[in-house]
Amino acid sequence: MEEDLHKQGTPLLNSEELTSLERLGQTIHRGPGYVFIKEGEETDHALLIRKGHVQVTAGTPPRLVAIRGAGEIVGEMAGIRQKPRSASIEALDDVEVLLVPADKWLRFLYDNPRAMHAQLVAKDERLEQATRKIAESDLAVEQRLAKVLVELAEIGLGARGQEGIILRYSQQDLARLIGASPDSVKKIIRLFKANGIVGTGRQMTIILNLDGLRDVAAGNLSDAL
């Protein structure tokens, strides 16, 4: 029985489960900025991300909860809990998802115990991640900003340019992601620029020194600034 269970670090769905799930949903393609799910609404489908990245945000103003990519499932708890959406899901780049209605998603889980177990493991991991995010909300703005810039770069959302890693995020976008005021983000960006860590362009942020950002994210401000 143990060998049939999901193990941490392995894909949520194996090839057989994926094939079964594919038959139950419909494929949707959307571009950056498209909102698949809005916090508070009463839709109940699940989304399997096939390509691209989405951001999960919650609260007013919205705070970044997580970034999810290919192979991950989002919005899967609404059909199980039968409650309004607890977060919004927005495309960060070109995204392809498989949309599975709640009744079919539940039936799939009951028919595939290994996949159900994988969802329980994933849910626990996400709870840990959310707990860390709550703890990080008390960090200084420069640390929160550095953390989100590192995360965006490491998951591949930036384009490699001559100067560095180009992220199509304005300072207003970054303020929204970390739940800080635009003025405080502008102040930190000026500090980062003065120390050669980032550059800016029209509606973009350019990472010039990723290791320097990692130092700030870790709280080693004296090593970077």
> In the chain, what is the greatest distance between 2 CA atoms, to the nearest angstrom?
58
pLDDT band at 3 (very low <50, low <70, confident <90, very high): very low
Whether residue 59 is predicted with pLDDT greater than 80 in this model: the reply is yes
Q: For the chain, which domains are there? A: 2-136 (2.60.120.10), 141-224 (1.10.10.10)
What per-residue confidence (pLDDT) applies to 157?
85
What is the reported pTM? 0.75
Is 159 a residue whose pLDDT tops 50? yes
The full 3-state SS of 78-142, as one line of letters, equals HHHHCCCCCCEEEECCCEEEEEECHHHHHHHHHHCHHHHHHHHHHHHHHHHHHHHHHHHCCCCHH
Q: Are 148 and 138 in contact (CB under 8 A)?
A: no
Burial letters 42-79, b for 16+ CB under 10 A, else e = eebbbbbbbebbbbbbbeeebbbbbbbbeebbbbbbbb
Average pLDDT over residues 83-111: 93
State the pLDDT confidence band at 83, using cuts at 50, 70 and 90: confident
